[in-house]
């Protein structure tokens, strides 16, 4: 899992979201989801996280399959979407996001997985500026589509080369959209490791968070109060067992 924030001038040398991802990370991700985060009055940020085993290991498109996922895959997807949303939520000023799936081949597992992740981010209030899949030196849009098994992100079928500035071409490179051999690669992605999920909050923490929201709503409708009264009310919500504030 990698979390890197771009310096203020990093975006000036980049012409696309893919170029900025590689400029910030210093390598082209592999078997990963890269999240390009737009932030209000702050530089863009780039997050990278390994795709889970259920998506990484099943790379071939299944034809005639049932299109159903087992309980373990559903739980894995749920935990991944929760972790991605938590990572984005921790960034100050995060607004819209662009999701870039670095995956060698299209598959129904990836299509369903991508939609579940995007749906969780959207439900959390983040605008999806674009969803893409990158395979070697080419990228394609992923668009929402309804199937017999529910909503998912499918490829639009149009492949475009990555900008030359981030594609290191080699003499042996061959062109074959979607095949995983569309040009050279940037520095190797050696940052893979165990999946480290964002821990889910305890019931006590959730209760305090809801109490905080309730206190904020009451404050908007109530008349102005003394500072000491405000401090005591917040303390009663956030740290009821602590000593009175000095």
Share of the chain above pLDDT 70, in %: 70
Note the pLDDT of residue 135.
Answer: 85
Note the pLDDT of residue 108.
Answer: 78
Is the pTM higher than 0.95? The answer reads: no
pLDDT of 102 > 70? The answer is yes
Mean pLDDT to the nearest integer, 177-203: 59
Note the pLDDT of residue 187.
Answer: 62
Q: 204 falls in which pLDDT band (50, 70, 90)? A: confident
pLDDT of 101 > 90? The answer is yes
> CA-CA distance, 16 to 33, in Å (whole number)?
17
pLDDT digits (tens, 9 = 90+) for 147-174: 766 788 888 777 788 876 554 543 333 3
pLDDT digits (tens, 9 = 90+) for 12-50: 333 478 888 888 888 888 889 999 999 988 888 999 999
């Amino acid at each position: 899992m990698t979390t890197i924030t771009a310096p203020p001038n990093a975006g000036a040398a980049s012409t696309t979201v893919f170029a900025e991802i590689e400029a910030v990370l210093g390598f082209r991700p592999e078997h990963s989801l890269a999240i390009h985060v737009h932030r209000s009055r702050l530089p863009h940020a780039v997050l990278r996280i390994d795709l889970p085993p259920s998506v990484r290991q099943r790379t071939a498109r299944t034809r005639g399959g049932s299109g159903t996922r087992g309980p373990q895959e559903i739980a894995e997807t749920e935990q991944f979407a929760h972790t991605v949303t938590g990572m984005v939520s921790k960034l100050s000023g995060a607004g819209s996001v662009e999701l870039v799936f670095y995956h060698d081949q299209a598959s129904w597992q990836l299509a369903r997985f991508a939609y579940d992740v995007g749906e969780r981010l959207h439900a959390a209030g983040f605008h999806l500026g674009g969803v893409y899949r990158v395979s070697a030196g080419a990228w394609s849009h992923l668009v929402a589509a309804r199937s017999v098994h529910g909503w998912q992100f499918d490829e639009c079928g149009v492949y475009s080369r990555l900008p030359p500035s981030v594609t290191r071409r080699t003499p042996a490179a061959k062109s074959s959209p979607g095949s995983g051999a569309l040009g050279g690669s940037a520095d190797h992605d050696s940052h893979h490791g165990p999946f480290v999920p964002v821990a889910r909050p305890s019931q006590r923490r959730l209760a305090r968070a809801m109490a905080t929201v309730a206190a904020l709503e009451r404050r908007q409708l109530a008349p102005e109060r003394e500072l000491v009264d405000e401090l005591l009310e917040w303390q009663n919500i956030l740290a009821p067992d602590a000593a009175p504030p000095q």
